[in-house]
Amino acid sequence: MNARFTPALFAHAEAVLGQLLRFEYPADAVVSRYFRDHHQLGHADRAFVAETVFAVLRRGRSIEARCAGRLSDRARLLVALAVVRGWSQRELAPVLKASEVDWLAAAKAMAEEDFRPAVRCDLPDWLYGVLEVQFGADEVLRLAAALNQPAPLDLRVNTLKTNREAVLAQFAAEGIAAVAGSLSPLAIRLRDKPALARHPLFLAGAFEVQDEGSQLLGYLMEPRRGEMVVDFCAGAGGKTLLLGALMRNTGRLYAYDVSDKRLARLKPRLARSGLSNVHPVRIEHERDTRIKRLAGKVDRVLVDAPCSGLGTLRRNPDLKWRQGEDSVAELAVKQAAILEAAARLVRPGGRVVYATCSLLTAENEAVVDAFLAGHPDFRPAPAAEVLARHGIAVDGDFLRLLPHRQNTDGFFAAVLDKKT
């Protein structure tokens, strides 16, 4: 059901956008807090507000170019509705002033091809410059177009509870449009974004929300029954749960993170999952003594390193305005230190998988190349060969997923095996 468009609803969008454009907090947190404070807004109203303000975050530079000097939150929203969401002036009539009619028509008529490449791509100049060097101007246009679209909703089936065919069959019976993922054997992609938090299968632990690209990290790890495995930067535990299921709930799986809050979010997910082999551990930093005790004893370590998150711009468009060259350089230093610490845990013959959801070579290949240069006892295993063993077809020695190629978030991963 569509929201009824009123001046009051537009005012809510304007209020949210004003908070977002300060870039003090992550966009999803700002929107969630606003909705908690304005609980009278129904589902359709919330959808309108969220979609419209996120359109401004995604298309900020081209929207500002079209505003032609009228750089107010109101102007940005009107252009977003008219250009990005395709609303007519008739649909905008409840809020559009007579003095804005000609201005908005002119804004809509501007040719995107006339904008500078970085503006056309809706990227900050520094980021456009880096991506152009990496991918070339033509591919950056395609990449940016994909990053400026909302992400689909992907699920991962919990094989300890069910299988993909059973979940798809139940969804079909309920009229929920869904298809099997094209890469991960566990992935389901939904056509829409239904509310699933109270769905019986979700409550029973039959599936979790997880981008299909992220699911491939579990298959790169190839954990076996009875092994000792560490998820070094576990966060809220999405990949921890995947690893536990691939281990068939055997062995020991340590979930390390520096944040109590993130590990707290793992607890209800863990309870639903049916896993009993997971041991969440809060650490102070990558040199924590609790980590050092496992030195040389661990079979496999996943390092899903803290990163710029620029591969997730479909979900988190504010990150391109919150990150900069300095913050990326700082992250690369931290990533190198974390990979170094994680590698110390691995026994001879063991494996480290280093991964980020960044698009940038500085956080990906450069970190791995520097690590390998200083650690002749590790060698890279071709990601394509590892995934082929599980029926997953990708190219390359490193895993690199991109939204305009695979329709996933942007992901990078390297498989690093320790020599025996």
Query: For the chain, what is the mean pLDDT?
Result: 95
Residue 2 has pLDDT above 70, yes or no: no
Quick: pLDDT tens for 118-141.
Answer: 999 999 999 999 999 999 999 999
Between the CA atoms of 115, 77, 32 and 257, what dihedral angle is there, to the nearest 10 degrees?
A: 10
Q: Give the right CATH number for 212-418 from 3.40.50.720, 3.90.1310.10, 3.10.20.90, 3.40.50.150.
A: 3.40.50.150
Residue 286 has pLDDT above 90, yes or no: no
Q: How far apart are CA 414 and CA 352, in angstroms?
A: 8
Q: How far apart are CA 410 and CA 404, in angstroms?
A: 9
Residue 287 has pLDDT above 90, yes or no: no
Mean pLDDT throughout 167-175?
A: 97
Nearest to 238 by CA among 202, 262, 274: 262
Residue 1 has pLDDT above 60, yes or no: no
Mean pLDDT throughout 394-398?
A: 96
Q: 108 and 75 in contact (C-beta within 8 Å)?
A: no
Q: Return the pLDDT at 95.
A: 96
Q: Which of 67, 121, 233, 357 is catalytic?
A: 357
49-63, 261-275, 280-294, 360-374: the lowest-pLDDT one? 280-294
Residue 142 has pLDDT above 80, yes or no: yes
Query: Domain locations in the chain?
Result: 7-115, 212-418
Confidence at 284, pLDDT banded by 50, 70, 90:
confident
Mean pLDDT throughout 286-300?
A: 90
Mean pLDDT throughout 274-297?
A: 89
Residue ranges of alpha helices (H) inside 2-100 are 7-20, 27-37, 43-58, 60-67, 73-79, 89-92
Confidence at 283, pLDDT banded by 50, 70, 90:
confident
| 113 token code pair | 């091809």
Q: 234 and 240 in contact (C-beta within 8 Å)?
A: yes
Quick: pLDDT tens for 341-379.
Answer: 999 999 999 999 999 999 999 999 999 999 999 999 999
Q: How far is CA 50 from CA 12, 106, 140, 232, 312, in A?
A: 10, 26, 26, 33, 17
DSSP per-residue string spanning 77-129:
HHHIIIIIS---HHHHTTT--GGGHHHHHHHHHS-GGGS-HHHHTT--HHHHH
Nearest to 241 by CA among 273, 216, 193: 273
% of the chain beyond a pLDDT of 90: 89
CB atoms within 10 A of CB 191: 11
Quick: pLDDT tens for 310-321.
Answer: 999 999 999 999
307 an active-site residue? Answer: no
